[in-house]
Amino acid sequence: MSAAREIHERIDEKFEEHLRRIQTYLRQPSISSTGQGMRETAEMTCGYIREMLGGEVTLVPTSGYPVVFGKLKSNTSNRTIFVYGMYDTQPVEPLDKWVSPPFEARIVGDRIIARGAINTKGPLMGFLNALESILDVTGDLPFNFVIGVEGEEEQGSIHLQEFVNKCADDLKMCETLYMPVPNQPSESAPPVLNLGFKGIVYLELECVTNPLDVHSSQAAILPNPAWRLIWALNSMRGEDGVLVEGFYENVEPPSPEDLHYVDSQADTVVKMMTAPYDVKRFRGKNVKAMARELVFAPSPINIDGFSSGWTGPATKTIVPSRALAKIDVRLVPNMTGEEIIEKIKAHLTKHGFDDIEIRVLSNYGWVKTSVREKAVQAAIKTFREFGYEPIIHPMRPGSAPMYLFCREPFNMKMLFGGLGHGGLAHAPNEYIMVNGLRDFEKSIVSFLYNYSQM
Q: Which of residues 312-351 bind its own copies (CB under 8 A)?
A: 314-320, 323-324, 326, 328, 330
- In DSSP notation, 404-451 reads HHHSTTT--EEEE--S--EE-TTSTT-EEEHHHHHHHHHHHHHHHHHH
Instruction: Please report how close the Cβ of residue 204 comes to its own copies at its closest, in angstroms.
Output: 9
Strand partners, 202: 328, 362
Spatial distance between the Cα atoms of 52 and 22, rounded to a whole number of angstroms: 13
Binding segment toward its own copies, per CB under 8 A, in 38-46, 111-119, 161-169, 274-282: 274-282
- Whichever of 77 and 363 has its CB closer to its own copies, that residue is 363
The residue from 256, 284, 387, 409 that contacts its own copies (CB under 8 A) is: 284
Closest CA to 186 of 110, 281, 262: 110
Spatial distance between the Cα atoms of 230 and 226, rounded to a whole number of angstroms: 6
Fill in the per-residue mask, 193 to 232: x = in contact with its own copies (CB under 8 A), - = not in contact: -----x-x-x------xxxx-xxxxxxxxxxx-xx--xx-
The residue from 44, 104, 264, 309 that contacts its own copies (CB under 8 A) is: 309
Closest CA to 193 of 332, 387, 394, 384: 394
Residue count of the chain: 454
The residue from 238, 252, 346, 453 that contacts its own copies (CB under 8 A) is: 238
- Whichever of 52 and 361 has its CB closer to its own copies, that residue is 361
Fill in the per-residue mask, 241 to 270: x = in contact with its own copies (CB under 8 A), - = not in contact: -----------------------------x
The residue from 307, 334, 411, 453 that contacts its own copies (CB under 8 A) is: 307
Task: Determine the residue type at 207.
Answer: C
- Whichever of 76 and 317 has its CB closer to its own copies, that residue is 317
Return the ∠ at Cα 339 (arms to 336 and 343), rounded to 5°.
140
Instruction: Please report how close the Cβ of residue 296 comes to its own copies at its closest, in angstroms.
Output: 9
Q: CB of 71 within 8 A of CB of 57?
A: yes
- Whichever of 201 and 412 has its CB closer to its own copies, that residue is 201
Instruction: Please report how close the Cβ of residue 60 comes to its own copies at its closest, in angstroms.
Output: 24
Q: Which of residues 27-56 bind its own copies (CB under 8 A)?
A: none
Spatial distance between the Cα atoms of 10 and 432, rounded to a whole number of angstroms: 21
Q: Is 238 helix (H, G, I), strand (E, B) or coil?
A: strand
Spatial distance between the Cα atoms of 303 and 204, rounded to a whole number of angstroms: 10
Does residue 233 bind its own copies (CB under 8 A)? Answer: yes
Q: Which of residues 346-385 bind its own copies (CB under 8 A)?
A: 361-362
